[in-house]
Amino acid sequence: MSTEFDVKLSANDMYAFNMYHAYTSVQGIVPVVLGIAVLTIACISDDFQGGFSRYLYMLIGLVFILYIPLSLWMRARRVILMDDVLGNPIHYNFCDEGVVVTAHNGESATLEWQYVYKAVATKNMIYIFSNRVNAYIIPKAAVGDKLDDMYSIIKANVADYRVKLK
């Protein structure tokens, strides 16, 4: 059993992966919590007699909250524009051996099922991780009606605790 399809990643797809990756770890959550704490202190504290220090703290809180999403958006745009492989269509073949990925230039790689770190589905995306950091990014819209076949192949070949498909 196998299923094949092509994916053309956009900057939005790359951004969605970067946001998922950033905000499912402590490193992404801590700045948001700190930003909210600084904003809360600036808003409710009576220690700020002058308006300047209150606005300075509010600015610092906003920087904590907005820096990560803005930097991830810029990086996603740059990667899609600069990377020859990710900026062009990628062919995926989910088969019994693993995930066979072929770039537009003919280069091919196979991620064998035993080396899949985890498979995750979000509302619009599917991520097949080869380790904690790197993943194949697959928009659900690109898979279309082959989504159930792809899920079946993944579930048949990857350990249950490594699969989080919706």
**Tell me, what CATH number does 140's domain have?**
2.30.29.30
Dist CA 42 CA 62 (whole Å): 11
**pLDDT tens profile 75-85:** 999 999 998 88
Considering the domain architecture, whether residues 27 and 89 belong to the same structural domain is answered as: no
Q: Specify the 3-state DSSP secondary structure of 61.
A: helix
- The owner of tokens 């989504």 is 147
pLDDT recorded at residue 28: 81
Considering the domain architecture, whether residues 60 and 37 belong to the same structural domain is answered as: yes
Residue 117 exposure: Cα atoms within 13 Å on the Cβ side: 10
The mean of the pLDDT values for the chain is 90
Considering the domain architecture, whether residues 76 and 93 belong to the same structural domain is answered as: no
If 0-12 CB within 10 Å is exposed, 13-18 middle and 19+ buried, where does residue 92 land?
Answer: buried
**pLDDT tens profile 91-129:** 999 999 999 999 988 899 999 999 999 999 999 999 999
When pLDDT is cut at 50, 70 and 90, the band that residue 49 belongs to is low
Considering the domain architecture, whether residues 56 and 115 belong to the same structural domain is answered as: no
When pLDDT is cut at 50, 70 and 90, the band that residue 50 belongs to is low
Domain that holds residue 78: 13-82
Cβ neighbors of 14 (< 8 A, separation 6 or more) are: 76, 79, 80, 86, 137
